[in-house]
Amino acid sequence: MNRVLASFFVLSCFSLASAAEVRLKDLAKIEGIRVNQITGYGIVVGLPGTGDSKTPMTTESMKNYLKNLGVESNLKPDQIKNIASVLITANIPSIAKKGDRLDVTVSSIGDAKSLEGGVLLQSPLKTANDKIYAVASGVISFGGKPDNERSSRNSKKTVGTVHQGAIVESELKEEFFSSQRVVVRLNSPDFSLLNNLINKIRETVPEKFGLKSESIQALSPSEIVMEVGPGFSAKSPGLLALLSDLENISVESSPRAKVVINERTGVIVMGGSIVIDEVAVSRSGLSLSVADKNRRTQRLGRDNQQTVKESFVIQEATQVSDVVDALNKVGASTKDIIAILEALKSAGALHAELEVQ
């Protein structure tokens, strides 16, 4: 029951929130400032007998690696168990410069039992165009400690992280400003938010930077374009000041009506103004009626003789939190509440996006 109360304490906090002032940097991003994925193949060495045992690729890769270092080798089966083949992945920002360091994720692709205690040999990381942008190496870490020695022996740690293990060797050279215009892209399409942002930018930016209000327009349902003209360049102080002011513009934003349910943990989170139509629900001994606000009070309770039924006023235009509170008072379990919310959505009585994880 504590989990139910905890879940809906979070839900109620969200339901009380109304439209709030939010900075543009938390709602959108400037076009061109993005992250790219890079990946590569590598070899992990130094494993205490937990490496690959039946992966020929690992043996050949190690032989080639040593051959490139000028060493001819004939690896024995016992030596192979100290080595593992891995895939390496990382994210590189478009503004990354040579010498910057990145975290990388290392994942076993053979039959290694564990990568714990291993060291990643220097490996190139490429983008989809097959160009090398970084090299990675270092000690693999997994974070945290097992509760006891037995759990340490039985755990299969085949995915780990090399913190700051990649060094950027080549810049992406993606210009975020190359066509005398700035594009602001919302994290998710929202027409009312888009309109509010355009009006706020027109009120704030043109006077300070000498721009015309009509140069700020909607480019798509999720994009705003600002034509700034030839007076700005990617390295000019004026552009940096403009982008800084843009990021810190605050606009009123109301969250989309949405209910997120995690069936595994039993947590329910609600955002936005969520409405429920008149409807009656009955499940596993629980009966729920959401009343028309112009009619008399309906009854909500648990249908058995050992539980005293209580009456609750639940109006037609109610918040989900009101229904949840009523269900919680009559002892509904988290599973009951999740099932009822899903049924309300299927019946068309819950006016909100429902996401089940």
What is the full per-residue pLDDT of the chain (357 aa) written as tens digits? Answer: 444 444 443 444 444 445 578 888 888 888 877 888 999 999 999 999 898 888 888 888 888 888 888 888 777 766 788 899 999 999 998 888 899 999 999 999 988 999 999 999 999 999 988 899 999 999 999 875 554 544 444 457 899 999 999 999 988 876 666 677 888 888 888 888 888 888 888 888 877 788 888 888 888 888 888 888 777 766 667 777 888 888 888 888 777 778 888 877 777 777 767 777 766 666 556 666 665 555 444 444 444 444 434 444 455 555 666 666 666 666 667 777 777 777 778 877 778 888 877
Beta-strand pair 119-126/132-139? antiparallel
The candidate with the shortest Cα–Cα distance to 184, out of 242, 246, 234, is 246
Q: Amino acid letter at 147?
A: D
Domains, the chain, ordered by start: 2-17+256-356 (no CATH), 20-32+175-253 (3.30.1360), 35-168 (no CATH)
Q: At residue 130, what are phi and psi to the nearest 5 degrees? A: 70, 25
